[in-house]
Amino acid sequence: MLNLHSTLHVLEGIFTLTLAILSGIPAVNGAANNLTQIPDSSFSPNPTNVGFYLYVPSTLQAKPPILVNPHWCHGSAQDAFTGTQLATLADTYGYIMIFPDSPNTADKCWDVSSNQTLTHNGGGDSQGIVSMVNYVLQNYNADPTRVFSMGTSSGAMMTNVLLGSYPDVFAAGSAWAGVAFGCFAGNGYDVWSNDCATGTIIKSGAQWEAIVKAAYPSYTGFRPKMQVFHGTADTTLYPQNLAEEIKEWTAVLGLPSTPVQTLSNYPDSTWTTYIYGDTFHATNATGVTHNIQTNESVVIDWFDLQCRGTGCYSRPAYDYLFST
Ligand SMILES: *[C@@H]1O[C@H](CO)[C@@H](O)[C@H](O)[C@H]1NC(C)=O
Ligand SMILES: *[C@@H]1O[C@H](CO)[C@@H](O)[C@H](O)[C@H]1NC(C)=O
Ligand SMILES: *[C@@H]1O[C@H](CO)[C@@H](O)[C@H](O)[C@H]1NC(C)=O
Ligand SMILES: *[C@@H]1O[C@H](CO)[C@@H](O)[C@H](O)[C@H]1NC(C)=O
């Protein structure tokens, strides 16, 4: 946070992007390469047939970090790829991106409701996405201690689900306009919860913590850190969902329920960031609707993706190697 050095690196990445466009290099969103679709036969389990699109920069770190970026409802892997500068920044920093594509053709929302997706190794869309992570770890010598997920809207909801169901896989998450893990829990695959969306599902931190821990009851290891963002004028997923995410993750991460520090006008002039500890930050974006814009430099900083070599933010390798 407030890391001038890494912010400069992000600006450098955007500058490189401008140069790429000016010099006529084929580019979709400024990223130098295109997405590659990985055939379903190459990875498993993938019980709901989630589509697997991969972004691999031409120059990778020696042990590249992995950034998963699930799209929003009515979106696609390609939309998420072109929707932010994160793939362009992957060219600069040498991390690999996974863009899963929802198999649900009805609304292209992620399954964040089924018991399967909300259960560790229980199936659902979340398990297919984790199989993609395992594919990249195996095929690209990627770093199992630096696996991240970020997304907006349904992609933020899936980020909450991935961190809750697979705390042994992820090192951190960044969720923009999402809802707490388990808030959409319902009877079946990809069920829309109007109660959660409109902010009428309200629980205590202890209740949310119990829901997250029930996803993987035997797990006692490291919990990924999380940052969440929400607009105060969001009428798709009401702002109460920010308060529920705060209660949930501060409880799971063992943090105080009130902030230890407040940053006014950060990272945007009308936004307020509440710091509950090193492992959880929440940003209330005044006046912002559901169409909240990703601030790539904040995401890069949170995941420490500008870092190479030793001393980068990472999770302990132990949990990845010894839990299944
Ligand atoms: C990316 O795809 C576009 C459209 O198919 C193509 O024109 C371009 O050459 C591709 N770029 C690379 C680097 O493969
Ligand atoms: C969810 O699935 C798990 C594992 O399959 C099972 O133990 C649990 O009872 C299920 N919960 C519900 C609410 O169906
Ligand atoms: C976000 O800001 C709004 C408007 O000031 C306020 O009503 C709401 O309680 C804030 N939410 C949180 C979680 O601080
Ligand atoms: C993104 O966040 C950085 C702080 O890391 C801030 O300096 C910058 O102004 C923000 N960008 C936008 C568009 O809000």
Question: Over 163-206, what HEC string results?
Answer: HHHCCCCCCEEEEECCCCCCCCCCCCCCCCCHHHHCCCCCCCHH
| Position in ligand 4 atom list of the atom nearest CA 7 | 5
Question: What would the pLDDT profile of 57-82 be if each residue is shown by its tens digit?
Answer: 999 999 999 999 999 999 999 999 99
- What does pTM read for this prediction? 0.90
Tokens read off for 116: 């399967």
Atom of ligand 4 nearest to the CA of 271: 14
Q: Hey, is 149 helix, strand or coil?
A: strand
pLDDT of residue 323: 47
pLDDT at residue 116 greater than cutoff 60:
yes
Catalytic residue among 6, 102, 114, 153: 153
In this prediction, residue 317 has a pLDDT band, given cuts at 50, 70 and 90, of: confident
For the CA of 32, the nearest atom of ligand 1: 13
- At 61 the three-state DSSP class reads coil
- CA of 318 from ligand 1 middle (Å) equals 40
- Mutate which of 227, 232, 238, 245 for ligand 3? The one with the most ligand atoms within 8 Å of its CB, which is 232
Architecture of domain 2-323: 3-Layer(aba) Sandwich (3.40)
pLDDT tens, position by position, 28-61: 579 999 999 999 999 999 999 999 999 999 999 9
pLDDT value for 256: 98
Query: Does the annotation count 153 as an active-site position?
Result: yes
CA pair distance 244, 205, nearest whole angstrom: 8
CB count within 10 Å of CB 104 equals 18
121-139 per-position pLDDT tens digit? 999 999 999 999 999 999 9
The DSSP string of 254-298 is T--SS-SEEEET-SSTTEEEEEEETTEEEEEETT--S-PPP-HHH
Q: Which residues contact 166 (CB under 8 A, 6 or more apart)?
A: 120, 126, 130, 216
Nearest CA to ligand 1 atom 9: 26
Domain locations in the chain? 2-323
Residue 15 vs residue 153, higher pLDDT = 153
- What per-residue string of b and e applies to 214-234 under the rule 16 or more CB within 10 Å gives b? ebbeeeeebbbbbbbbbbbeb
Pocket of ligand 4 (CB under 6 A): 7, 267-268, 295, 297-298
**By the 8 A CB rule, do 285 and 268 touch?**
yes
Distance 267 CA to ligand 4 centre (A): 5
Q: Using one digit for the tens of pLDDT, what is the confidence trace for 146-183?
A: 999 999 999 999 999 999 999 999 999 999 999 999 99
Task: Return the best residue to mutate from 111, 113, 115, 127 for the ligand 2 pocket (most ligand atoms within 8 A of CB).
Answer: 115
Kindly tell me the burial class for residue 322, based on how many C-beta atoms sit within 10 Å of its own C-beta (0-12, 13-18, 19 or more). Answer: exposed
Task: Say whether the peptide bond before residue 65 is cis (omega within 30 degrees of 0).
Answer: no
User: Sorting pLDDT into bands at 50, 70 and 90, what band is 319?
Assistant: low
- The answer to whether 205 and 247 have CB atoms below 8 angstroms apart is yes
Q: Mind listing the pLDDT tens digit for each residue in 211-228? A: 999 999 999 999 999 999
Q: Identify the residue whose tokens are 């202890």.
A: 206
The radius of gyration of the chain's CA atoms, rounded to the nearest angstrom, is 18
Q: Which ranges of 98-151 does DSSP label H, i.e. alpha helix?
A: 124-140
